[in-house]
Amino acid sequence: MTLSYFFKIRYTAFVLAVLTFSLLTSGEGVAQRLPGMNESPWFGFFSGYIKRDFDMGIDDTGKLWIYLKTNQKERVGRSRWIKSSFAIRAEDEGGKRIVRNFKQGDVFESSQKAGLDHEEVKYTAETAGGAKVEMSVKYTRKGVILDGKILDGGELSNKGKLTLVISVVVPAMYGPVYNDDDDKAKERMSDDELVFKRASDNKRVKLKTYIDVDLASEKNAKDGITELKVEMVSMEEKTLEFSSEGDGGIIYLENPKAGVKSKLWKGYNVIWEKEMSADKENPFVIEVG
């Protein structure tokens, strides 16, 4: 290696370091996560909440995680962890939608320190394009209350109606051993069911988890629901309940693949939406019973 080549490498590294420092100190478009804890099992989490039947927490990119617990007070395996993520959606009069998900690479801020002592967490998330939302997370004895309000629509302000969207992904709650044995699944899951109230007529609908179902059909949850209760043996003898308080939000139930029937024990999505024009509180409630 020649001396000139050596200095060229050192000079390139120096220029890259200067550019990186300039970006980090400019305050424009710089990714920033929430402060995170360093102790297991909460490494990288901004907030955690511990109860006998479940753990809940907000990670450093604003996602909510729910961990059901066994009777031995241990978290269930990774395949049964429940994840919630947040987004802002703009929709014009023609139905065209633009979605900005809260994700790694966005800017997250909070005046609170990371820890396990929060009763309520507030943080802001600024997505690509300058859309900014303040999220509120209140822990309760049974679960969590989620809400948010828009601070700045950014580039979405002129794109139509703005909506806050919270998506809960509930994974398969049984192992693959039941995939090819309908009789075995029916026997094991005979007491399992999803019960929800349709928003359109307040009618209660019950669905068995071992039957192929299209959640978006007219007879099920196409036009949204106001509450949902889920009971499955594989949820460690616990129930999951979702509800939208007040009249400002609505819940949609979806199959993992839109428009494709599937057995509910294999997973489903719970989507809560709230139009951002009103400042009044109409939160989304998740409880573990």
DSSP tag of 234? G
Which residues, 6 or more positions from 127, have their beta carbon under 8 angstroms from its beta carbon?
A: 88, 100, 101, 102, 103, 106, 154
**Whether residue 94 sits in one domain with residue 20:** no
Residue 191 and residue 257 share a domain:
yes
CB 244 within 8 A of CB 226: yes
- Residue 128, both tokens: 């690509």
Alpha-carbon Rg for the chain, nearest whole angstrom, is: 22
pLDDT at 158: 87
pLDDT digits (tens, 9 = 90+) for 154-165: 999 888 899 999
> What mean pLDDT, rounded, does the chain reach?
87
Asked whether residue 24 falls in the same domain as residue 164, the answer is no
Give the whole-angstrom CA distance, residue 205 versus residue 187: 22
More confidently predicted of 276 and 200: 200
Using the predicted structure, report yes or no on whether residue 9 has a pLDDT greater than 50: no
How far apart (Å, rounded) are the C-alpha atoms in residues 133 and 124? 6
What is the spatial distance between Cα 29 and Cα 146, in angstroms, rounded to a whole number?
27
Domain membership of residue 251 (yes or no) is yes
The mean pLDDT of 103-126, rounded to a whole number, is: 94
3-class DSSP assignment, residue 138: strand
In a domain, 95, yes or no: yes
Predicted pLDDT at 279? 58
Give residue 280's pLDDT: 59
CA dihedral 259, 263, 264, 269 (to 10 degrees): -30
Has residue 202 been placed in a domain?
yes
Range of the domain at 174: 53-103+160-288
pLDDT in tens, 34-73: 999 999 999 999 999 999 999 999 999 999 999 999 999 9
What is the mean pLDDT of the segment spanning 10-20?
41
pLDDT in tens, 169-201: 999 999 888 887 888 889 999 999 999 999 989
Share of the chain above pLDDT 90, in %: 68
In this predicted structure, the answer to whether residue 213 has a pLDDT above a threshold of 90 is: yes
pLDDT at residue 26, rounded to an integer: 35
Is residue 264 situated within a structural domain?
yes
Q: 99 with 170, same domain? A: yes
Torsion-angle region of 237 (φ positive above 0: left; ψ -120 to 50: alpha; else: beta)? left
The residues near 88 (Cβ < 8 Å, ≥ 6 apart) are 99, 100, 127, 131, 133, 150, 153, 156, 162, 163, 164, 165, 276
What pLDDT sits at residue 30?
A: 57
What per-residue confidence (pLDDT) applies to 180?
72
What's the pLDDT at 277? 63
Are residue 243 and residue 165 in the same domain, yes or no?
A: yes
* Domain identity same for 166 and 256: yes
* pLDDT at 262 exceeding the cut of 50: yes
> Domain total for the chain?
2
Can you tell me the mean pLDDT for 252-269? 93
Same domain? For 164 and 222 the reply is yes
Integer Cα distance of 271 and 266 in angstroms: 17
Strand, helix or coil for residue 280: coil
Q: What is the DSSP annotation of 49-105?
A: EE-SSEEEEEETTS-EEEEEB-TTS-BPPGGG-EEEEEEEEEE-TT--EEEEE--BT
pLDDT of residue 19: 34
- Within-domain flag for 84: yes
Structural domain contains residue 8: yes
Distance between CA atoms of 210 and 12, rounded to whole angstroms?
61
In a domain, 121, yes or no: no
**Domain-embedded: residue 205:** yes
pLDDT of residue 5: 43
